[in-house]
Amino acid sequence: MPLLSRRLRAALLATASATLVAATLPAPEPLGLGDRLFPELGNPGYDVLAYDIAFTYHGSNTKPLDAVTKISARTTAPLDRINLDFARGTVRDVEVDGRRVDFGSKNEDLVLQPPRPLPAGAPLNITVRHTSDPAGAADDGGWVRTADGLAMANQADAAHRVFPGNDHPSDKAFFTFRITAPRELTAVAAGLPVGETRHGATTTWTYRTRHPMATELAQVSIGRSAVAHRTGPHGLPVRDVVPAADREKLEPWLKKTPAQLEWMEQQIGRYPFETYGVLVADSPIGFALETQTLSLFGKSFFTEPAYPQWYVDSVMVHELAHQWFGNSVSPGTWSDLWLNEGHASWYEARHAAENGGPTLERRMREAYELSDGWRADGGPPAHPDGPAPGQKLSLFRPVVYDGSALVLYALRQEIGQAAFDRLERTWVRVHRDSTATTADFTRLASGIAGRDLTAFFDGWLYARKTPPMPGHPQWRSAKPA
């Protein structure tokens, strides 16, 4: 999720409070998976297999949507209560395995009382009827209001401001979206369309993913949109969703996507999903976001004349690279974010170097000069400092972008280009459609290099000072201000 600046990567999303209708459940308590950076995010005791989420949009992007979220899961431990993440909306009623149950809320958890204690290994079906409120501040995350509707920006911890679920990337699931909106609007979502039904003045659009997805990568867009179809490598369906009035203006940029897909496939192998495309939102968002199969960009990114062509192209490649790094292979914890952003920034930098931007060596040398300052400000790449109070997405600092791409450059210098290229291809193949951690990456790198790289990674991933650059002993990191 790069900001539209080469140097500064800051977060624009924050947290918001919920409006939950509590029933008679006594003393609900928040849980969490114990993530070092977001300790109350996610919930133990069950594994979500699939979400089926229905939204009804009433023609105004300031009014709550009516919603029904159905969750198919399996318990992984005995449960006498079920915690879901949910923080913005009114819960009307809840069913567990077909029976209405009591519920309550605490902090950002919705706590359910199942009709009976659940053993480990049991199927679990939850239905929550609720509203989904887009009326929070523009930088709260979750729904993003556009000039003609809505889109989603759920990273890192904002999906539960849109729908209840297990909002942690370690619990990926299949998704079905059913969006009902006035018939003059167009609704799109992650995955492929599987149905479109008209009901008088409204249309219901249905989309389904063919691969599991982390909640933070979900995308739904509603607006006066045009959908442009084209074909990518191997017959891949490519669809771009843009404001209808801007379709011709944006076409010179959007038609580049098939070639960008081909370039990425040459680097690391076949594209991992069923479709891809660009979603252009008519909204003053200052970031791009790698939502799965449909990357989100603000319109001004493509219309701002100050951005050189190579820069726009390279950021498009950054979000595309995330489809492999972060989406297909998702982080096991949020401390593993460097694997997402470092890789996306690496391929962004390489594409820029081949298409009119600065050379890779120049960009990495500049990053090296700034690296000690980045580590001082935000921690080392694989052990980042926690977000600032009230600004959870301040986690997205320069150290996880070019500061982490620098780790990959050092690794290639250390083990050689052939071994590095084999590592990249093996990583996305072995962990496709799953989650993986920094320990998984360092173990695989050592195996492919044929030697123990523990000391190398300890310095590059966890030290507060940047180690010497292999092959470039003359490089120096500037002293932090």
pLDDT digits (tens, 9 = 90+) for 82-131: 999 999 999 999 999 999 999 999 999 999 999 999 999 999 999 999 99
* pLDDT per position as a tens digit, 153-172: 999 999 999 999 999 999 99
Contact (Cβ atoms closer than 8 angstroms) between residue 113 and residue 101: yes
The residues facing 109 across adjacent strands are 85, 106
**CA distance readout (Å), 31 to 19, 69, 240:** 19, 20, 39
At 286 the pLDDT is: 82
* pLDDT per position as a tens digit, 263-288: 999 999 999 999 999 999 999 888 89
CA distance 165 to 167: 6
At 17 the pLDDT is: 35
Question: Would you say how long the chain is, in residues?
Answer: 481
At 6 the pLDDT is: 33
Mean pLDDT across the chain, nearest whole number? 92
The band of 403, judged by pLDDT with boundaries at 50, 70 and 90, is very high
Tokens 């500049």 belong to 366
At 4 the pLDDT is: 40
CA distance 228 to 33: 40
The band of 29, judged by pLDDT with boundaries at 50, 70 and 90, is confident
At 139 the pLDDT is: 56
